[in-house]
Amino acid sequence: MKSFLSSKQIPVRERLIFALDVPSIEEAQAMIDRLGDSVCFYKLGLQLFMTGGYFKLVEKLQRLQKKIFVDLKFFDVPETVKNAVEQLQIRNVTFATVHGNDDIMSAAASVKGDTKILAVTVLTSLDKGDMKDLGFNCDVQQLVISRARRALTLGCDGVISSGLEVRELRENLDEKLLVITPGIRPASNVWAKDDQKRVVTVQDAFFNGADYVVVGRPIRSAVDPRMAAEEIQQQIEAVFNTTAS
C-alpha cells in the first residue's frame, strides 16, 4: 500500500500536538512543567477557555517557546468570526480552528495573518450513524473531502481530519494542505470505550498522510505523562527515520 508520509519541512518533535484538556489553569501549568521538553506544541481548547485564564496560559507557553494551537472552533456570523480571528494576530499562535460554512471560512482566512486556519471536517467523535442523525445522508469520507476542498479554495491552510480519511485527502487534494489528525490511540484496547469513534494509531496516521497528530488522554492519563509523551515522540521519529534511511 502506498505511503503518503508527509514531506513538509516540519521538525519531527513538533509533529506531536498535546491536547491540554484539563479543568483548571493550575493543572494546565503543572502539566506543562511536568512534560518539559517532551512536548513542543500544545492545543488549548474550550475547557481551558472557560477557566478565565486562557490567554495567560498562552503567554506562559510563548515564554517557554512552545507552539500554540487555539482550538476554539470559531462558529458564528462571518463578521464576528473575522473579528475574533483578527485578535489572534497579536497572540502569535500557530493554528486556529474554524467550524462552519464557506462564508465563515472565507472570513477567517481573510484576516489570518501568520496564523494558519484549520477547517474542521467531521469530528472524530462522530460515526456514520451520528452523521445520519444530523441529516448528512452521505459517505463520511466524501463529506470530509468535499469540506477540505472548499476550505483550501477559500484560503484555509488545512483541516482537522480523522486518520481514517487522511489517505483519501492525499489522493484527492493538493499536497500543500495541512492535515492535523486527532483521535490518536495506542494499538492496545485500553481506550476502546472513550468518546472517540474514528481512531487510528500514530503510525497509521502518518503513513496515511497526516502532518501532525493530536494526542490527549493517552498522555494526560498516563502514570508518567512525560514518559508517555516521549514514547509517542519515539514512535514518530521511528516512522520518519525509517523512511529517510
Query: Within a 13 Å sphere around the CA of 14, how many CA atoms are in the beta-carbon half?
Result: 11
Q: Which residues are catalytic?
A: 73
Cell of 184: 490518536
Model confidence over 174-224: pLDDT tens digits?
Answer: 888 999 999 887 754 444 444 444 468 999 999 999 999 999 999 999 999
Is 118 a domain residue?
yes
Q: Is pLDDT at 125 greater than 60 in this prediction?
A: no
3 belongs to a structural domain: no
CA 131 – CA 215 distance, rounded (Å): 24
For residue 22, give every residue at least 6 positions away whose Cβ sits within 8 Å of its Cβ, in sequence order, or none: 28, 31, 47, 48, 220
Asked if residue 134 belongs to a domain, the reply is yes
In a domain, 2, yes or no: no
The CATH number that applies at residue 130 is 3.20.20.70
pLDDT at site 197: 46
Q: How confident is the model at residue 156 (pLDDT cuts 50, 70, 90)?
A: very high
Residue 178: inside a domain: yes
Q: How many residues does this entry show for the chain? A: 245
Q: Bigger pLDDT: 142 or 244?
A: 142
Question: What per-residue confidence (pLDDT) applies to 162?
Answer: 83
Is 7 among the domain residues?
A: no
What's the pLDDT band for 135 if we cut at 50, 70, 90? low
For the chain, what is the domain count? 1
The predicted pLDDT at position 192 comes to 42
Structural domain contains residue 68: yes
- Higher per-residue confidence, 15 vs 124: 15
Q: For residue 107, what are the domain limits? A: 12-244
- As a whole number of angstroms, the distance between CA 226 and CA 164 comes to 27
pLDDT tens digits, 8-35: 999 999 999 999 999 999 999 999 999 9
Query: Does any domain span residue 1?
Result: no
